[in-house]
Amino acid sequence: MDNRTLGRTGVRVSPLCLGAMMFGAWGNPDHEDSTRIIHRALDAGINFVDTADVYSSGESEEIVARPQGAPKPRGAGDQGPRDDGPRPEPTGHSRRWIIEECEKSLRRLDTDWIDLYQIHRPDRVVTSTRHSGR
């Protein structure tokens, strides 16, 4: 599979991305089955995986990190607005929230980096200028 550059990042990714939203309680609770799907995608040359902190409450990220002997795929994190309880800014798009959730994702994914971390949908409360620091 011919890899492509991800935007202007210089990161080379496969043109196909494995979507991991249904790994875990939201879809397929069988971790071994999800692991087989990941291995099949990696064997086919896919090195780009879309997962998110909200997919099965982080379980999807843990499944993606799990396959033994598999090269770590390039990561695409996806962070969506939600309310996990009392916080100063419970929408999930404040700069502080994004950093905290990204750090949790790194731990669940058992990696030191995420190549792409994006906001899933706009937030009516927190503007893009506020979370990007611009």
The residues that are catalytic are 55
Retrieve residue 20's tokens. 């991991």
Give kind and range of the element (H or E) at residue 5.
Answer: strand 4-5
CA 117, CA 51: separation in Å to the nearest integer?
10
The first and second tokens of residue 96, run together, are 């502080």
Q: How many residues does the chain have?
A: 134
Rounded distance between C-alpha atoms, residue 79 and residue 93, angstroms: 8
Q: What is the helix (H) or strand (E) element at residue 93, kind and residue range?
A: none
* SS3 category, 48: strand
